[in-house]
Amino acid sequence: MRIVARVKPHPQKEIFIDTDYIRLDAALKLADLVQSGGHAKTVILNEEVKVNGEVCTMRGKKLREGDLATFQGIDVVVKNKDK
Interval 5-29: pLDDT, tens: 676 677 899 999 999 999 999 999 9
Number of folded domains in the chain? 1
Give the domain range for residue 36.
12-80
3 domain residue, yes or no: no
Q: What is the pLDDT of residues 22-57, one digit of tens each?
A: 999 999 999 999 999 999 999 999 999 999 999 999
Residue 7: inside a domain, yes or no? no
CATH code (residue 75):
3.10.290.10
* pTM recorded for the entire structure: 0.85
Sign of CA dihedral 13, 62, 44, 69: positive
**What amino acid is encoded at 52 in this protein?**
N
Beta-sheet pairing, 74-80 with 12-17? parallel
